[in-house]
A and B are shown apart, each in its own frame.
Chain A
Amino acid sequence: MTSTSVEAPPTPVTPEPQKPRSPRSVTAGTIVKYALAIFFLLVVLMPAYVLIVTSFKSGSEIGVTGQWNLPKEWTFSSWAKAWDALQPAFLRTFQLAIPVALISSLIGAANGFVLSRWRFPGADVVFTLILFGMFIPYQAVMIPLREIVTTVGIPPGIPTLVFVHCIYGIPICTLIFRNYYATTVPEELIEAGRVDGAGLLRTFWSIILPISIPGFVVTIIWQFTSAWNDYLFAIFLSNTRNGPITIALNALAGAQSPDYAASMAGALITSLPTLLVYILLGRWFIGGLMAGSVKS
Chain B
Amino acid sequence: MRRMRHWGPGLLLLSPSLILLAVFVYGLIAWTMKVSVSDEHTARGSEGFVGLQNYIDLFTNDINGRFTHSLKNLLIFTVVFLGGAMLLGLLWAFILERGVRGEGFFRTIYLFPMAVSFVASGVVWRWLMNPGKDANAGGINAVFTGLHLDFLQNTWWTNADWGMAAMAMPAVWQLSGYVMALFLAGFRGIPKELREAAAVDGASTYRLYRNVIFPQLTPVALSALIIIGHMSMKMFDLIMSVSGAQWLTEVPAVYVWQALLTSDYSKAAAISVILLLLVAVVIVPYLIYTNRAEKNR
Contact = CB atoms under 8 A, between A and B. Distances in A.
Nearest to B135: A64
B202 A11 contact: yes
Given A139-B275, A264-B127, A293-B223, A286 B142 contact: no
B173 A45 contact: no
Interface residues of B, number: 110
Interface residues of A, number: 103
B272 interface: yes
Contacts of A15: 202
B139 A140 contact: no
A114 B10 contact: yes
A44 B173 CA distance: 7
A256 to B, nearest CB: 10
Contacts of A51: 123-124
A264 B268 CA distance: 33
Contact of B117 (A130, A138, A231, A278): A231
A37 interface: yes
A142 B275 CA distance: 13
Nearest to A121: B7
A66 B212 CA distance: 50
Q: Binding site of A, secondary structure by majority: helix, strand, loop or mixed?
A: helix
B284 A132 contact: yes
B25 A64 contact: no
Interface centre among B21, B114, B253 (most CB of A within 10 A): B21
B118 A231 contact: yes
A174 B230 CA distance: 20
A33 B21 CA distance: 48
Q: Is the interface of B mostly helix, strand, loop or mixed?
A: helix
Nearest to B111: A286
A143 B21 CA distance: 16
Contact of B142 (A11, A67, A136, A204): A67
Given A111-B13, A277-B115, A135 B283 contact: yes
B112 A141 contact: no
Contacts of A286: 111, 181
A167 interface: yes
Nearest to A204: B13
A87 interface: no
Given A253-B126, A295-B219, 19 more contacts: A8-B211, A50-B124, A68-B146, A107-B17, A111-B14, A139-B271, A139-B272, A145-B28, A170-B20, A200-B10, A204-B13, A268-B120, A274-B116, A275-B115, A286-B111, A289-B114, A289-B178, A289-B181, A294-B223
